[in-house]
């Protein structure tokens, strides 16, 4: 079982009734099932991992973060999820009505709602998110909303969460994240997500940031151990000028038969992110 030590903003430890929102934006989705489609994303604060092990995680400038012990890349959103604003469901909904440039009635309908982080499936965060979904459902008369959760796969979604969400993007961390294996791999949670693949009404994709053959070999091991279909696996290689690394990765990915998304594409970030930090 993974160690569930959470690295969270202080406010999150003090208040369980309001979600801490790192930011929200309306824009074109760069990855995953909804790639190329307009979405509303809500990013929550707090994560149980700290990918990249940077020695200075609270450095304001994300560009200054250097990978620490055993890590080859650094989480690109630490500066977002380490902060945030405590908000009730009503306040989040009102914020969207006033500040998001899409018809409010389309959220969860024609415009999918994507929840990222940080880690949205931290236990308290799940409860706060389902309170938000309850509120949206009442306001927008949701029937079968289009909601996606982006998770690191170390927590199982609650039944209530699953009643709202129809797509999970599970980004399991590999050795290059610098995280210990028993922190980044939670076997019951991964098994639960694999089980959901075949259950009616849900879809699940597994995503991996892989930088070397050690990572790719671990993806292969995880896929075999948990019987994850290759069609459900997408690999995101790093952006690098090292042509030898690129060729090696391309060769291995072709050999293993995984889907791959080019770095130039997946590193495209929304410029519309509304940072809601205090």
Residue for token pair 């945030």: 84
| Helix 123-140 with 89-99: angle, nearest 10 deg | 60
Residue 68: partners with Cβ closer than 8 Å, 6 or more residues away? 52, 53, 54, 55, 178
Least distance between ligand SF4 and beta carbon 254 (Å): 26
Q: Could you say whether residue 47 binds ligand SF4 (CB under 6 A)? A: yes
Distance of alpha carbon 234 from alpha carbon 207, whole angstroms = 5
12 versus 136: smaller Cβ distance to ligand SF4 = 12
The pairing of strands 233-236 and 203-209 is parallel
Distance of alpha carbon 47 from alpha carbon 132, whole angstroms = 19
The two tokens of residue 88 are: 């009730």
Q: Residue number with the shortest CB distance to ligand SF4?
A: 75
> Interacting stretch for ligand SF4, rule CB under 6 A, among 94-102, 112-120, 123-131, 258-266?
112-120
Contact predicate 214/189, CB 8 Å: no
Binding mask 68-107 for ligand SF4 (x = CB under 6 A): -------x-x---x--------------------------
Contact predicate 172/190, CB 8 Å: yes
Q: Could you say whether residue 51 binds ligand SF4 (CB under 6 A)? A: yes
Binding mask 113-132 for ligand SF4 (x = CB under 6 A): ----xxx-------------
Binding mask 215-254 for ligand SF4 (x = CB under 6 A): ----------------------------------------
Least distance between ligand SF4 and beta carbon 174 (Å): 11
Q: Could you say whether residue 176 binds ligand SF4 (CB under 6 A)? A: no
Q: How many residues of this chain bind ligand SF4 (CB under 6 A)?
A: 11
Distance of alpha carbon 220 from alpha carbon 225, whole angstroms = 9
230 versus 239: smaller Cβ distance to ligand SF4 = 239
Q: Could you say whether residue 21 binds ligand SF4 (CB under 6 A)? A: no
The pairing of strands 274-275 and 19-28 is antiparallel
The verdict on whether omega for the bond into residue 111 sits within 30 degrees of 0, i.e. cis, is no
Q: Could you say whether residue 50 binds ligand SF4 (CB under 6 A)? A: yes
Binding site for ligand SF4 (CB under 6 A): 47, 49-51, 75, 77, 81, 117-119, 152
């Amino acid at each position: 079982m993974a160690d569930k030590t959470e690295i969270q903003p202080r406010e999150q430890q003090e208040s369980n009734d309001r979600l801490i929102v790192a930011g929200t934006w309306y824009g074109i989705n760069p990855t995953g099932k909804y790639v190329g489609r307009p979405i509303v994303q809500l990013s929550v604060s707090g994560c149980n991992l700290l990918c990249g092990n940077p020695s200075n995680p609270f450095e304001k400038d994300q560009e200054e973060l250097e990978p620490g012990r055993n890590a080859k890349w650094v989480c690109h959103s630490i500066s977002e999820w380490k902060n945030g604003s405590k908000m009730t469901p009503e306040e989040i909904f009102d914020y969207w009505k006033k500040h998001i440039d899409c018809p409010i009635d389309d959220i969860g309908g024609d415009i999918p709602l994507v929840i990222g982080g940080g880690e949205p499936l931290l236990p308290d965060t799940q409860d706060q998110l389902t309170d938000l979904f309850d509120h949206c459902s009442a306001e927008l008369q949701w029937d079968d909303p289009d909601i996606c959760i982006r998770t690191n796969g170390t927590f199982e979604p609650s039944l209530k969460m699953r009643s709202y969400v129809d797509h999970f993007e599970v980004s399991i961390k590999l050795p290059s994240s610098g995280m210990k294996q028993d922190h980044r791999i939670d076997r019951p949670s991964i098994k639960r997500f694999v089980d959901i693949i075949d259950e009616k009404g849900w879809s699940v994709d597994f995503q991996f940031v892989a930088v070397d053959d050690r990572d790719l070999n671990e993806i292969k091991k995880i896929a075999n151990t948990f019987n994850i279909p290759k069609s459900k696996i997408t690999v995101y290689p790093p952006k690098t000028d090292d042509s030898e690394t690129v060729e090696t990765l391309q060769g291995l990915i072709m050999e293993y038969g995984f889907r791959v998304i080019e770095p130039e594409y997946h590193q495209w970030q929304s410029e519309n992110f509304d940072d809601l930090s205090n």
